[in-house]
């Protein structure tokens, strides 16, 4: 695993910034199909997500076909507020780009709404519904 991934996974903005300044490729994809941005999203580090968003390829999918938003709604954290925050940040950024990622399906046919509803994340479900997620999508 590349150092940029460790910095992103552990929320180390100073290390990440040093690596970026040294010229590291922030869009380098690992064996799971993830970039530093996708790792930061999956761990709920909004500060890293905000830093990487503008310079990263944001339309990438991991090996399960999950987009940045798929990963955000299933953030691996103990605090629901951290998950909610990263979803909010992504939705803000995605709306700026006019992205249709909110309706995209992973390789199992699941949308971000499927994943958040299936995990009982009520606040995230509300955020997605407020952004016109497809309520009748089937996996």
Whether the predicted pLDDT of 71 surpasses 70: yes
SS3 content of the chain, % helix, strand, coil (to 5): 55, 0, 45
Cα gap 22→75, rounded to integer Å: 29
Cα gap 17→38, rounded to integer Å: 17
| Residue 78 DSSP class | S
Q: What pLDDT, in 10s, does the model give residues 107-120?
A: 999 999 999 999 88
**Residue 98 pLDDT:** 60
**Residue 99 pLDDT:** 61
- Residue spans of the domains in the chain: they are 3-130
Q: What percent of the chain has pLDDT over 70?
A: 94
pTM of the predicted structure, to 2 decimals: 0.85
Whether the predicted pLDDT of 5 surpasses 80: yes
Residue 30's φ and ψ, nearest 5 degrees, are -85, -175
Give whole-number Cα distances, 139 to 52, 62, 83, 104, 134, in Å. Answer: 31, 18, 23, 11, 12
Cα gap 34→71, rounded to integer Å: 10
Of residues 43 and 139, more confidence is placed in 43
Residue 24's pLDDT band (cuts 50, 70, 90): very high
Whether the predicted pLDDT of 101 surpasses 80: no
Of the options 3.40.50.300, 2.70.98.40, 2.40.10.10, 1.25.40.20, the CATH number for the domain spanning 3-130: 1.25.40.20
pLDDT, average across residues 83-110: 81
Cα gap 22→94, rounded to integer Å: 28
Please identify which residue in the block is written with the tokens 């407020």. Answer: 130
**Residue 57 pLDDT:** 86
């Amino acid at each position: 695993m590349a150092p940029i991934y460790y910095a992103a996974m552990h929320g180390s903005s100073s290390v990440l910034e040093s690596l970026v300044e040294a010229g590291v490729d922030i869009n380098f994809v690992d064996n799971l199909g993830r970039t530093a941005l996708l790792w930061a999203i999956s761990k709920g580090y909004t500060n890293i997500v905000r830093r990487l968003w503008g310079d990263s390829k944001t339309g990438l999918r991991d090996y399960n076909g999950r987009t940045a938003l798929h990963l955000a709604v299933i953030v691996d954290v103990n605090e629901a507020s951290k998950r909610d925050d990263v979803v909010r940040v992504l939705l803000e950024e995605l709306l700026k780009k006019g992205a249709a990622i909110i309706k995209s399906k992973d390789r199992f046919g699941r949308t971000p709404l499927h994943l958040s509803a299936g995990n009982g994340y009520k606040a995230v479900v509300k955020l997605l519904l407020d952004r016109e997620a497809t309520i009748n999508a089937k996996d």
